Structure 1
Amino acid sequence: MIIYGVAVLAGCLLAGMVVGDALGVLLGVEANVGGVGFAMLLLIVLTDRMRKAGRFPQHSAEGVLFWSAMYIPIVVAMASTQNVVSAVGGGPVALLAGVAATGVCWSLVPVLSRIGGAEEPLPPVSEEEEV
Structure 2
Amino acid sequence: MMIYGTALLALCHLMGVVLGDLLGKALGVKANVGGVGIAMLLLISVRLALHKRGWFSAKSEAGIHYWGALYIPVVVAMAMQQNVVAALRGGPMALLAAVLTVLVCGSFVALINRTESKIVEPQETEEVA
**TM-score w.r.t. length of structure 1:** 0.69
Pair 1:18–1:120, CA change in 2 (3 A): same
Aligned positions of 1:11-30 closer than 5 A: 11-30=11-30
Q: State percent identity of aligned pairs.
A: 57
Q: Which residue of 2 aligns with 1:50?
A: 50
Matches within 5 A, 1:55-94: 55-91=55-91
1:19 alignment partner AA: L
Cα distance in structure 2, aligned partners of 1:67 and 1:59: 13
Distance (whole Å) between structure 2 residues aligned to residue 94 and residue 19 of structure 1: 16
What's the offset of the Cα at 1:83? 1.2
1:68-123 Cα distance to aligned partner (Å, 9 max, x none)? 0011101111111111123334547757986x78xx9xxxxxxxxxx9xxx748xx
Q: Following the alignment from structure 1 to structure 2, what is the Cα–Cα distance between the partners of residues 26 and 96?
A: 12
- Give the whole-Å Cα distance in 1 for the aligned partners of 2:51 and 2:11: 17
In the alignment, the residues of structure 2 paired with residue 94 and residue 27 of structure 1 have an alpha-carbon distance, to the nearest angstrom, of 8
How high is the TM-score relative to the length of structure 2?
0.70
Deviates more, 1:49-58 or 1:77-86: 77-86
Bigger relative contact order (CA 8 A; separation at least 6): 2
Distance 1:33 1:96, change over 3 A: closer
Cα distance change of structure 1 residues 25 and 4 upon mapping to structure 2, 3 Å threshold: same
1:40 equivalent in structure 2: 40
Q: Does the C-alpha gap of structure 1 residues 24 and 92 become closer, same or farther in structure 2, counting only changes over 3 Å?
A: closer
- Aligned-CA RMSD value: 3.3
Secondary structure at the counterpart of residue 69 of structure 1: helix
Q: Provide, for residues 48-77 of structure 1, a one-character-per-residue CA deviation record: whole Å limited to 9, x for no partner.
A: 010010000000000000000011101111
What secondary structure does 1:76 align onto?
helix
